[in-house]
Amino acid sequence: MISLPKVEKLKPKTQPHNFFIWGATMSGKSYFASYFPNPLVLNTDGNSEQGSAPSIQIRNIRGENGALKQSAIRQLDDIITALQVENSKRSADQQFKTIVIDVIDDICVMIEQAICLDAGVQALSDIPYGKGYAMFNTALQQFVMDLKALPMNVIYISRELSITDDNTGVTTYEPSLKTKYYNIVNGNCDVVIRTKKIGDGQNASYLREVKALRTMYNPANITDHRILQLLESCSGMFKKEDLEKLQQKKESK
Ligand SMILES: Nc1ncnc2c1ncn2[C@@H]1O[C@H](COP(=O)(O)OP(=O)(O)OP(=O)(O)O)[C@@H](O)[C@H]1O
Ligand SMILES: [Mg+2]
């Protein structure tokens, strides 16, 4: 029989492992993600050869008859299986420690496409009784949950959407991932970061600001030095006094 845990108040030493990064094009999303420890990039936009991290191109490939030859869903599934099985068998310096989904918007479209091509329809709504949507939700949810279960950092990258209110003229910015997909993905993320580029050309400076946090993270609990450095470069990630305390501790050592 299962034994239930004791009733007690726990003091967890939490660390973030799942990140959501969004921002305008060329604002430094892929650049930032590539500095995480041993990254593997699942790329969708074909500009992977410009990045410095090893990458796999995700795509649906159609055969001559128009039917699916390689489905993105299958491909993602195979990659996750390989990471579960093969990654842990590698020597420590050859193990991937971070998986980057660049960009999740496109992955969602590819999952949708794969389901449609498989069923021989134009859109999810053409599959009767809402089964298309149900299949899509299951596939996306499964993908996100499988990634979360891997002993790795997971980074989802999304583009930026600017919306200008016609009445007030105020422009607001948000991730371009559709809200219903955003909720599925973000329900499994710990930190949401927005990247921003200020200035142009050689004068550009790159900013990162934290938009949402699952809990208040203490920099003293972050065990990986690289990740600590990266997170310190994001404004609003840690409390100032916690960072000062950590600094004092380092100096006294
Ligand atoms: N923090 C930084 N310091 C210096 N250069 C940077 C920084 N961040 C980004 N860059 C430069 O900006 C360029 C564009 O960045 P990056 O490719 O990460 O943009 P992106 O947000 O992923 O854009 P896209 O949405 O088009 O993929 C990079 O080639 C890099 O040289
Ligand atoms: Mg990019």
Query: Strands 68-70 and 61-62, how do they pair?
Result: antiparallel
Tell me the C-alpha distance between 165 and 172, whole Å: 8
Domain edges within the chain: 18-252
Whether residue 174 is predicted with pLDDT greater than 80 in this model: the reply is yes
Model pLDDT, residue 141: 94
Model pLDDT, residue 222: 92
Find the 29 Cα to ligand 2 centroid distance in Å: 6
Q: Which residues are 194's β-sheet partners?
A: 22, 209
Asked whether the bond before 41 is cis by omega within 30 degrees of 0, the reply is no
pLDDT tens-digit map of 66-114: 788 889 999 999 999 999 999 989 998 999 999 999 999 999 999 999 9
pLDDT tens-digit map of 187-230: 899 999 999 999 988 899 999 999 999 999 999 999 999 999 99
Find the 26 Cα to ligand 1 centroid distance in Å: 5
Correct CATH for 18-252 of 1.10.287, 3.30.200, 2.30.29, 3.40.50 = 3.40.50
Closest residue by CA, ligand 1 atom 3: 206
Cβ atoms within 10 Å, residue 17: 18
Closest residue by CA, ligand 1 atom 14: 26
Length of the chain: 253
Please say whether the beta carbons of 153 and 34 come within 8 A: no
Find the 240 Cα to ligand 1 centroid distance in Å: 27
Find the 153 Cα to ligand 1 centroid distance in Å: 20
Nearest ligand to the C-alpha atom of residue 50 = 1
- As for ligand 1, residues whose beta carbon falls within 6 Å of it are 23, 25-31, 159, 195, 206
Q: What is the pTM of this model?
A: 0.92
Cβ atoms within 10 Å, residue 77: 15
